[in-house]
Structures are given as C-alpha cells and as structure tokens.
Amino acid sequence: MTGDNTALVLFSGGQDSAVCLAYALDRYDRVETLGFDYGQTHKVELSCRDALRPQMAAMNPDWAARLGDDHTLPLPALAEIGGTALIGDGEIKMLENKLPSTFVPGRNLLFLTYAAALAYRRGLQTLVGGMCETDFSGYPDCRRDTLDALESAINQGMESQLRIDTPLMQIDKAATWGLAYDLGGAALVELIIEESHSCYRGVRDTRHEWGYGCADCPACALRQASYEKWKSA
C-alpha cells in the first residue's frame, strides 16, 4: 500500500516511542513499526514491543485497522564501535565533551537512514520518531535542526519526499504523559506504565508507580519525575 498518509514509526518499546505509535495510529491511515537491535544493554525493550503493539491496537478499532507490519533490523556495527554506556557495562556519567556516556554517536542518524530505506521500499511516506530537544540528555542527534538536515539529505539521495515527524520535539516528558492520556485515556497511560521500558540498565524486576526500572539511572529519574509532575498538575 502506498499513499501520502502512511507512516513508519521508530518503535523501540520505550515510553516515547509507545506514545509516538499511538500518535501515528490516531493520525495516519497505515502504520508500520521498526525496531533496532544494536547490542543495547536494555535489550529487554525489544521484547516489550511484542506486548505493546497488540494491546494498543486492541484499544481502538480504528487503530487495529491501521496497524500494519512490524520490522526489526540488526545494527551490530554500533556495538563493535562501542565506547558508550548504552552498549556494555560502562559508567553512566558526563564526558569531557559535555555529552553523557549514554550517547551513541550516529545512532539516530543511522536509525532514520535505515528507516527511510525501508519506508521507501514499503511505500510509506512519513517517519515518526520520539526525538525531543526539551527533556533530552544532550544528544545532538535529537535536535530538530539535525533532523531537518538529515531529511533533506535523505530526499536528495533517494529522489523521495519522505518526511520526519517528531511529535514530542517541543514538549517535555510530563507533557508526553499528557499526550498519552489525550490519545488513549487512562488505559493507554497504564499500558505504557506496565509494558514500555526506559531503564538504561534493563531492570524489569521492580515495579514502581511509573513503571519498571532501577530508579537510579538518568532514564528512570526522568521518567519518575515527569510522571509525578504530570500527576500533580
């Protein structure tokens, strides 16, 4: 199926990508999903995708009709390059270049380039990603100006008219919880709490009010603080 109102969601199994999937199902006629296995420490997020997709589709007949195929691509080269706390057991800290050790150089650039190639073959016109420059960890590949440059390069290099849609770009993480509620009510919020994964350390044996995680890494700290901020608003 081809058409202007079709989308491929970069769907990791995390909170942001889960909200992006709901957003896409609410707006696009045909939605497919794509995940990446790059040797991430929190690889458990990939298994979360299998629970999130069908349960989200079951929440709304229109969403169920729009949800198409799922894809997973391996990117082992990122693990071979290494040097990041998201791949291996490195310490999570700020580096001399003022970027966190969880930054994986080129990750989003590669993700979106591979996604663009897949979308091209699948006849999908929009890439939907959860990049954000408000509550983010200082990653330069999460900035909208970076994605605008990449979008231009992709379209020039493939003679295409693909668009990169980033619905979370200008909102903070608390507003992301609010967007989930606006899209699917309390049921969607609860699904994201229960089935999505954000913890950098891959911990899923401890359940908190905001979801599973170590409650210590930056991803857990942000998820907890944003959930509490949204609940108290």
Segment 184-201, tens digit of pLDDT: 999 999 999 999 999 988
**Residue type (1 letter), 106:** G
Question: What local confidence, expressed as pLDDT, does residue 42 receive?
Answer: 64
Mean pLDDT across 85-98: 50
Residue 138: φ, ψ to 5°:
85, 15
Mean pLDDT across 123-135: 90
Cα 231 from chain centre:
22
Question: What local confidence, expressed as pLDDT, does residue 118 receive?
Answer: 98
Domain ranges of the chain: 6-194
Question: Token pair for residue 224?
Answer: 């907890």
Q: How far is CA 147 from CA 14, 51, 55, 144, 207, in A?
A: 20, 29, 30, 5, 35
Question: What local confidence, expressed as pLDDT, does residue 99 receive?
Answer: 45
Write the secondary structure of 88-155 as one string of H (helix), E (strand) and C (coil): CCCCCCECCCCCECCCCCCHHHHHHHHHHHHHHHHCCCEEECCCCCCCCCCCHHHCHHHHHHHHHHHH
Question: What local confidence, expressed as pLDDT, does residue 76 receive?
Answer: 80
pTM beyond 0.75: yes
Output the CATH code of domain 6-194. Answer: 3.40.50.620
Mean pLDDT across 175-191: 98
**pLDDT > 70? residue 2:** no
**3-class secondary-structure state, position 165:** strand
Burial category of 32 from C-beta neighbours within 10 Å (exposed 0-12, middle 13-18, buried 19 and up): buried
pLDDT digits (tens, 9 = 90+) for 137-165: 567 877 899 899 999 999 999 999 999 99
